[in-house]
Amino acid sequence: MEKIKKLRHIFKEENIDGYIVAKNDEFFSEYVSEFNDRLNYISNFSGSYGYCLILKNKNYLFVDGRYTLQAKYQCGKLFKIITIPKKMPYDFLRKNLIIGFDPKLFTNKTLSTFFNKKNCRLKPIKINLIDKIWKRKKTISNSVFYNLPKLSVGSNYQQKIDKIVSNLKKKGADFHFITASENNAWLLNIRGSDTKYSPIPYCYSLIDKSKNIKFFCDLKKITSSFEKNLKNIDFLEMNLADKVLARLVGKKFIIDENTCSRYFEEIILQNNKILPYKDIIYNLKAIKTKNEIKNIEKAHVSDGVALTKYLFWLKKNFEKKNITEISGSEKLYEYRKKNKNFKSLSFPTISGTGANGAIIHYKATKQTNKRLKRGDIYLVDSGGQYEFGTTDVTRTISLKNYDKNIKNIFTRVLKGHIAVSNFNFKRNTVGSKIDVEARKYLKKIGLDYSHGTGHGVGYFLNVHEGPHAISKNNNNKFEEGMVVSNEPGYYEKNKFGIRIENLIYVKKRKNKKFFENFTMAPIDKDLIVESMLNKTEKKWLNSYHRKVFNNLKSAMNKSEFNDLKIACSAI
Tens digit of pLDDT for each residue in 410-434?
A: 999 999 999 999 999 998 899 999 9
95: confidence class by pLDDT, cuts 50, 70, 90: confident
Angstrom distance (rounded) from CA 225 to CA 215: 16
- By CB atoms closer than 10 A (0-12, 13-18, 19+), residue 23 is buried
**Strand locations in 23-69 (E):** 51-55, 59-63
CB 513 within 8 A of CB 482: no
What ranges in 89-156 are assigned the alpha helix state H? 108-114, 129-133
pLDDT at residue 115, as a whole number? 86
Instruction: With both helix axes pointing from N to C terminus, report the angle between 290-317 and 558-567 in degrees, rounded to the nearest 10.
Output: 100
What pLDDT digit, counting tens, does each position of 435-465 carry?
Answer: 999 999 999 999 999 999 999 999 999 999 9
**Strand locations in 318-437 (E):** 342-345, 350-353, 377-382, 384-386, 389-390, 393-398
What mean pLDDT comes out for the span 493-522?
97
pLDDT at residue 276, as a whole number? 96
With a cut of 90, say whether residue 118 has pLDDT above it. Answer: no
What mean pLDDT comes out for the span 499-504?
98
Strand 483-486 with 489-492, pairing:
unpaired
Q: What are phi and psi of 209, to 5 degrees?
A: -75, -5
Angstrom distance (rounded) from CA 558 to CA 324: 27
Angstrom distance (rounded) from CA 185 to CA 193: 11
Beta-bridge partners for 350: 381
CB 22 within 8 A of CB 261: no
Instruction: Calculate the average pLDDT of the chain.
Output: 96
With a cut of 90, say whether residue 140 has pLDDT above it. Answer: no
- Helix (H) or strand (E) run with residue 334 in it: helix 325-337
What pLDDT digit, counting tens, does each position of 365-374 carry?
Answer: 999 999 999 9
Angstrom distance (rounded) from CA 68 to CA 556: 40
CB 42 within 8 A of CB 10: no
- Helix (H) or strand (E) run with residue 203 in it: none
With a cut of 90, say whether residue 30 has pLDDT above it. Answer: no
Q: Delineate the domains of the chain, giving CATH numbers in brackets.
A: 2-133 (3.40.350.10), 146-284 (3.40.350.10), 287-567 (3.90.230.10)
With a cut of 90, say whether residue 137 has pLDDT above it. Answer: no
CB 517 within 8 A of CB 500: no
CB 272 within 8 A of CB 294: no
- Helix (H) or strand (E) run with residue 233 in it: strand 233-237
- Helix (H) or strand (E) run with residue 85 in it: none
pLDDT at residue 66, as a whole number? 85
* Percentage of the chain lying above the pLDDT 90 cut: 90
What pLDDT digit, counting tens, does each position of 36-86 carry?
Answer: 999 999 999 998 899 999 999 999 999 998 889 899 989 999 999 999 988
